[in-house]
Amino acid sequence: MTSRYNSPSDLPSSLPVFPLRGAILLPRASLTLNVFEPRYITLVDHALANDRLVGVVQPAADTGSAESPQGKNFPVRKVGCAGRITAFNETEDRPLVISLAGIARFALGGEIASDAPFRTFTADFTPYTDDFISDLGEDDVDRVRLLETLRRYLDANGLNADWERINAAANEQLINTLSILCPYGAEEKQALLEAGSLSDRADALVALAEMELAARDDNSGTSLQ
**pLDDT at residue 94, as a whole number:** 65
- Span 67-89, pLDDT tens digits: 999 999 999 999 999 999 999 99
Residue 88: CB atoms within 10 A of its CB come to 16
**Alpha carbons 30 and 4: distance in angstroms, whole number:** 16
pLDDT surpasses 70 at 7: yes
**pLDDT at residue 225, as a whole number:** 36
Give the confidence band of 224 by pLDDT, cuts at 50, 70, 90.
very low
The three-state secondary structure class of 12 is coil
- Span 121-163, pLDDT tens digits: 999 999 999 999 999 999 999 999 999 999 999 999 999 999 9
Domain boundaries, the chain: 8-132, 138-217
The half-sphere exposure of 151 on its side-chain side, counting CA atoms within 13 A, is: 10
- Span 22-46, pLDDT tens digits: 999 999 999 999 999 999 999 999 9
Residue 190 contacts by C-beta under 8 Å, 6 or more apart in sequence?
24, 58, 77, 79
**Mean model confidence pLDDT for the chain:** 93
The three-state secondary structure class of 31 is strand
Give the confidence band of 1 by pLDDT, cuts at 50, 70, 90.
low
- Span 204-220, pLDDT tens digits: 999 999 999 998 776 65
- Cβ proximity of 84 and 101 under 8 Å: yes
Whole-model pTM?
A: 0.92
- Cβ proximity of 166 and 147 under 8 Å: yes
Beta bridge partners of 97: 34, 89
**Alpha carbons 88 and 194: distance in angstroms, whole number:** 27
The three-state secondary structure class of 169 is coil
What value does the mean pLDDT take over residues 180-187? 95
**pLDDT at residue 70, as a whole number:** 93
Instruction: List Cα–Cα distances, 23 to 4, 28, 81, in angstroms.
Output: 25, 16, 11
Instruction: List Cα–Cα distances, 111 to 36, 71, 152, in angstroms.
Output: 24, 14, 43
Is it true that domain 8-132 has CATH number 2.30.130.40? yes
Closest CA to 107 of 82, 141, 79: 79
Closest CA to 115 of 47, 42, 56, 55: 42
